[in-house]
Every structure is written in structure tokens, then in C-alpha cells.
Structure 1
């Protein structure tokens, strides 16, 4: 309860926490759409092969002008099994005999076809442009669309682990700002990518930074909010992801060009860097990094923003040190990530959360990103059974619900600060329960 007591004196849910919550929610609304951006920017419109008699405006002085577009299409493009024009092949020569519908076709041989060697014609009635139409990612190049999405998700997997380690080393705020800047620059530049290869590189770069603003915003919000208000703040932040998805759908309906849509969700991230500079580094992280004086300075800053008077007189270094002495003693020994593997309860909780709290947050995010990479691959099982991918998705979801059962209850419980708190949770929980009871008696 040491950090809880200090947070309460600095204002557990004041102007600062409200500012922080609103900023994070707005940022999440604009950040999350980058994960599913290709749903719109890589939409595949109807297309067919380019043919000269249909699409060459310089053709003149022949009899083709007397025929309608439908007729010319019929003699130029073969039909598929659904009696729709083929998307990837055309007749080598116009098949004029197809116009004589009353002729017997008993001894007719199938006409020779060829790929779309001269390019494609796209239906631009809904999407004037996508990356598909920009670089002709159709037919034999259609799999390249999945390459972009796989590269982005692979970047998010690597970034989750790399930047979570950097967050624990250099601080939540500075890494948060850097990743926000990186994401804004990468996806803004992607809107002007001259080639598909450069576009893939920029999307991979954007993927490296996509998860860190979300993870670090949760860390900062949790570490600057008292236990009683934490759940409300987290629920609101989680809801911002859903709002972000709806926001992208509405935005894509209004903005049909992929270039403009990319800019519309990327440039605002650069603007959000200005208010994000007013964020305060995590007090708990500063204490864990043995930066007591800076931590007390940030604690006073938050208390001042929240309107707490005489914060400098009450929140002195000596007072803060006396409150969190147990934590200061624990952080004298620098832990490494390998110590996590000697803490069975931490491993169990991490595993349970991975299957369905920053280094741990990064590990959890790695599992999430791995799932995001593998999920599209499960759809290839449709070739064996139309029901198999959906059965797998459903079974995994049910298992994820079951593995939550061994996790401890966190309602009205403060965050644990050390590995020892987790491993000795019986003593820790008893202490917390006693303190909670005394608090309730005092309030009554």
C-alpha cells in the first residue's frame, strides 16, 4: 500500500489523471486503425484483363464501334465457372463466333487464352485507388497482399519485445513518445511510397512501433491511478480500441483513396506529440530505477496539477523514502529477465494472460502478435474443410476463458511491485486485506 498512499496524497483521480486518460483514449482511437488499415487500403476491386478493342482509346476506323461494351467484353474475356468474366485471363484473339448464339457448339474447341500481359482494368466505382490497383497485386501477385500484412504483424511482434525492454531501461514516457513519432512518420511516408518494396519496408517499420504506445499507455495509466479508479480507466482505454475500429470504418467510407486514408490516420499522430510531452514519467518506474529525487519531483508535479496544496512541504524526500523503504530495499539488487524463470507463480500468471501486466507486457504482446500472424494462416484450412478454421478459433477462445481461472482476484488490490510480492502472495494478500479492512473502518 506504499505507492497507493502516496498516489492518494497526490490525487488519485484528479485533473492530471483525467488529462492522461483522455489523451491516451484519443491516441488509441488513432493508433489502432493502423493494425487493420489494409482492410481498406488493400481492398481488391473487381478487375479484368486490359484488351485493345475495349480499352484502347486510339482505336478507330473499324467495325468495333458498332458493338456494345458487353459484346466486346464477351468476345475478349472468357467466362469463369460462375459465368462471370475471368479476372486473370483473356482470349489471345477475339472470339467473334461467340456472337452467333444459334450455332451449334457441339464440335467447338476451347479458344486459347493468355494471362493479362498488358495489365488490368479495375472497377473504381467504390475505391478510386488502393495498393492493389497501385501495384497490380492481383492474379499471380495476389499473395503479395498477405506479405504486407505478415511483415506488419512480424514488425509488431519484434517491436513488442524490443521496445518493452527499452521501456524498462529508459522509461515509459520517452519510449512512448518515440514510438508515436516513428509510427506517424512511417505511415505518413508509406502514403507516398514509390514502389511496393518501399511500401512493405515502411509498413514493417510502422509495425515495430504499433504496440508500444498501447502497452506503455496502460503502464502509465495504471501506475498513476489508485486501485479503486484503475478498473474504470482501463475499461475506458480498452473501449477506445473498439471506437478506433468504428472510426476507421466511417473514415474509409468518406475517404476512398488509399493515399488520403493513410495520411488521415497518420498525420494526427504527429500532432498528438505536442500534448503528449506533458505526460509525467511513471513514479514507480523511477523508484525501481533508484531515481528517488526525480520520482519525488514528478510526484509533486502531479500533486500540483491536481490542485493539492503544500505538496512540496508534505511530499518530502524523507517522507516518501520512509513510506516506500521496503521497495527501495528490494530494488537495490538489480533483477534480470532470467529471474522471471525462477518465479513459478509469475510464469503461471504470464502464461495464462499470454494465452488469452513493461517487460512482461512485451512478452504478452509477443504472444498476441504471434496469434495475429498465425490467424490468417488458419484460413488456408478452408481447402480441407469449410468448418475447420472456425472450430479451431472457437476452441481456442473457450480454452482461453478456462486458463483465466487460476489467476488471482485483483479487485481493489494494489499492483504488486516485486517478484517477492508475487511469490509470497499469501503473506502479501493477508497484509493487503488487513490494510483494506482498516481503510474501510476509517471511512465508516
Structure 2
């Protein structure tokens, strides 16, 4: 047997998706739920409700004058939208002055960091910086934890990230100093998505090709569930301290994974730890009720030969993603897709307070509106392919953003189109995870997904700052989001299709993978006749495949 087939035959005996994979997958996707909740926690715990200048002699700590009273209307001018100005009031001789203090509409938010520290007017940057600090933590986490996943294993990183997100998520609730808050938010961000990255890679390396689409999309569904939980708990708990503690405690569900979850057999194999890899597969076969037997001595011998090849030709590390021309092209385009998807996704998600309606309900809707896109993906992805679907969804998401920019600010129609844009961009975002995992070879897969996630985190960190441009014109951020989505959607045409094809193992495999395959030469995603033959990753015994054909 050719040594390149050894791993695939062993994984093939396991089948695409059995009881063992189902249980492990359930453990993996819990990380997606906690990631969604942590990522957008500031939407509730640091919310900035409607506000106006506090009027000396009229408003006090115990009493706030009605916003439509003559006293208020005579003291505060109206803005261009016919609402009370949030930052200015009349001074002596009807001259305009900047507010020194504010009162807040507590209809939806009675307690938040935004109210405590006045994230308004000239202090708006403080709220943006708090979210940016978290996202820059995610950037560092993507780099460091992605590398640690490839060096020390997916399971180790998964569990430690869960422990530390619990620790820092709790600590941030107790902080009373703004700059300490920012520092802990940064540390919180490093580990907030660490388990997500490791869990996603674990799933992609464990399940068979016919189930990767469903499993990949389910990760995104669980992320959306995290957003819906965020809104639900925010609605029920009006104290930001207890709310943040509750958000942090969701990480507890990740702690038993050290005892329940297995390491990736593919990663163990790539590290030359064949006996451990085979032992996991044997355990999985028993749980799946399979009678297949594994020749452990032969597989260990094959692994040594294979891993020698990898150690000589394909050392792991992020740098290897840029060493060869085809890998460089794919890496740059896919990172651009991550960047654009993230900036649009979080641009729409973080600005719910600017939309018309109950902010908790809108946040919940922004989570639930993702579900139709996932249904579309589960039905069409294996029929159309990653490339055509992700480019179409990004282009439609970009067009939606430009339509929103053309509609009246804060209108109901704008809110509706935002929901449509979120539907499309969440769909493309869900594909990018699976697409990246299949484009990169095993020896750098976590590093590749981590690099892409880092690019997404950089754009996520920039999103609150881009949103501050609405002080110049409310349409500017949305126009930027729209053009980035359009540009990235077009660039995706130049990536190869991965549906039904073997996951590349070495850097050499990764460089050969998809050569000459673009939407302009093969837009259907079908295998090109002049493409090099892949190792058939059937996830069932190769001899059985030959009999079926």
C-alpha cells in the first residue's frame, strides 16, 4: 500500500459520521456558542441608550424631566432627524454649548458600562476602544493559539482557552477603572475565541467529506445561538455586573472536555504519534459499532515513512503559507475574504442600537436571521460549491449595504435591508471557515485558519473605529462595508473549489491543490480534466469504494 493512502484508509474505516463523531462534534460546537456570546457581550453590558444633556436645576440624580417637556425642549435643540441633540444644549443668549453630563433613556437599559462611563459624544471613542481591545486580543489569540494548536495539539488549546475565558470573563465584571477594563478585555479576547478555532479544526479533521458542510454550518448556527442567548439574557437581567458574570459562566461547559474529548487523529498522525492516533480510531470504531480491524504495526510503519516526508518537505508554521506561489495566492485571497466578511458582519451586529426598535429584539433577530442562510448553504453548497456560493453571498451582502446607505437613516426599511444584508454576509462567513480548513494542508491547517481568523479579528477591531465615521456622515461606514464586500466577493472567483476533494496533507500537496482552477476556467466547481489526481478521501475503506464503483 502507498504510504500516502495509509492515513486515509485508517480514517476511512471510521466512516463519515457515526456515534463517535457525533458526540465529539457536540463537544466541539459548544465552543461556537460561547464565542458568539463573548464576542458581542458589549452590545448589552456596555450599551449606550438614547441620551441628552442633563439640565442643571431641572434634572437630578433622583429625578429626570420628561424628554418632551417644555423645559427640555427650550434647553436642548433638535438635530437634523427631529430628535433632541445628544451632545449640545443652549447656553446663555441661546448660544450652543457642549454637555458636561447626560441623562439616559432607561426604557431598555438601566445599567451598563456605557451609562457608568458616559460612552457618548466626545467620549464615544471609549466604547469603540473597549470592543477594539477585545478584537485585538482575538488577533493575538488567532496567531498564538493557531500556532499552539499545530505544535501542542487541538485539545490542549481548546481546554486551556475555555479555562482562561472563564477567568477573564469573570474578572472584567469586577473592574471599576476604565483602563484596567480595557486591559482585561484584551486578555479576555485572546481566549474568547481560542476554543472555537481549535474545535472547528478538530471537527474538520474528524468527519468525512459528506458531513463537513453540515458540521461547518452547524458551528455558525451555534455562534448565532450565542448571539440570541446574549440578547435573551440581556432582556432578563438589567444589571450589567450580574449579566457579565452570567456570560462568563457559559465557559464552564467547556471544562469537562479534557476528560470527554479526544485529540485529532490526523494531528497525532502528522506528529508521528501513530499509536495514539490508531488507539483513538480503534476506540471510535467500537463506539460506532464497527467490526473493522486495524493493523497497528503496519500503520505505525507507514506513519514513520510519511512523517519523515513531512518533516523534510513540509515543516509546520504560518510562514509556509507564503513560501510558494499558489499557496501565497490562496492565502492572500482567503485572508481578504476573512477581513471583508468580518468587518461587514460585525459592522451590522454591533450597531443594533442605531436601528429602529427594541435593541434586544433586534439583536435576537440579527441572530435568528442567520438561520435561513445556513439552510441555503446546507442545501446548495455541495451542489454549487464553495466558490460560487461565497462570492454570490458576499456580492449580495455588499449590495445590501449600499442600499441601506441610500435609505433614510434609522428608517424601518433600512432595518429590514440590514437584516437581508446580515443574512447574506453570515452565509458567506460560515462558508469561509470550512473553505479555509479545506484549502490549507494538515501541517499548517490550524495556522492557516488562525491566520484567516486573525485577519477577521483585525477588521473586527477596526469596525468600531470605522463606525465612528458616522459623526461625519451616517452613510460613510455602511458604504465602506459595502465596497469591501463587493471587492472580496469578486476576488473569490480566483480560488479553487474544494467540494469532494481530499484534504491536502503536506505543503507540497497544498501547492499543487487547485492549480489553474478558477471560476473563469471551471466555475461549476467540477474536477478539471488536467488537474492532478487527489488521493480519494472517501472516509470509508478504499477497497470497499473500488467494489462499489
Structure 2 unaligned spans of 5+: 338-436, 438-445, 516-529
TM-score by length of 2: 0.67
Q: 2:157 and 2:178 mapped to 1: Cα distance?
A: 29
- 1:45-78 deviation line (CA, Å, top 9, x unaligned): 233445564345899xxxxxxxx99455467x44
- 1:15-36 deviation line (CA, Å, top 9, x unaligned): 2211122223333123212212
SS, match of residue 494 in structure 2: coil
1:79 and 2:77 equivalent? yes
> Is the CA contact 2:132–2:464 (under 8 Å) kept in the aligned structure 1?
no
Q: 2:235 and 2:182 mapped to 1: Cα distance?
A: 24
> Is the CA contact 1:167–1:175 (under 8 Å) kept in the aligned structure 2?
yes
Q: Residue 211 of structure 1 corresponds to which residue in structure 2?
A: 193
Q: 1:339 and 1:212 mapped to 2: Cα distance?
A: 22
Q: 1:382 and 1:136 mapped to 2: Cα distance?
A: 18
- 1:83-130 deviation line (CA, Å, top 9, x unaligned): 76554456778xxxxxxxxxxxxxxx33685742xx443332221101
Q: 2:186 and 2:488 mapped to 1: Cα distance?
A: 29
Distance 1:409 1:130, change over 3 A: same
> Is the CA contact 1:157–1:365 (under 8 Å) kept in the aligned structure 2?
yes
Matches within 5 A, 1:57-72: 70=69
1:396 and 2:484 equivalent? yes
1:281 and 2:384 equivalent? no
Q: 2:188 and 2:225 mapped to 1: Cα distance?
A: 21
Equivalent position to 2:496, from 405, 408, 421 = 408
Q: Residue 198 of structure 1 corresponds to which residue in structure 2?
A: 180
Q: Residue 418 of structure 1 corresponds to which residue in structure 2?
A: 506
Equivalent position to 2:108, from 119, 126, 139 = 126
Distance 1:33 1:390, change over 3 A: same
Q: 1:151 and 1:215 mapped to 2: Cα distance?
A: 19
Higher mean Cα deviation, 186-195 or 370-379? 370-379
1:294 and 2:276 equivalent? yes
1:350 and 2:331 equivalent? yes
Q: 2:304 and 2:335 mapped to 1: Cα distance?
A: 32
Distance 1:113 1:328, change over 3 A: closer
How far has the Cα of 1:164 moved from its partner? Answer: 0.8
SS, match of residue 296 in structure 1: helix
> Is the CA contact 2:28–2:202 (under 8 Å) kept in the aligned structure 1?
no
Q: 1:57 and 1:240 mapped to 2: Cα distance?
A: 42
RMSD of the TM alignment (CA)?
3.4
- 1:168-201 deviation line (CA, Å, top 9, x unaligned): 1111110111111111221122122222222212
> Is the CA contact 1:92–1:114 (under 8 Å) kept in the aligned structure 2?
no
Structure 1 unaligned spans of 5+: 60-67, 94-108
Distance 1:120 1:375, change over 3 A: closer
1:317 and 2:296 equivalent? yes
Distance 1:227 1:4, change over 3 A: farther
SS, match of residue 203 in structure 1: helix
How far has the Cα of 1:263 moved from its partner? Answer: 2.3
Q: Residue 97 of structure 1 corresponds to which residue in structure 2?
A: none
1:374 and 2:374 equivalent? no
Equivalent position to 1:430, from 508, 513, 533 = 533
**Structure with larger Rg:** 1
Higher mean Cα deviation, 420-429 or 139-148? 420-429
- 1:205-235 deviation line (CA, Å, top 9, x unaligned): 1111133222211110011112222222112
Aligned length, in residue pairs: 417
Distance 1:265 1:394, change over 3 A: same
TM-score by length of 1: 0.82
Q: Residue 356 of structure 2 corresponds to which residue in structure 1?
A: none
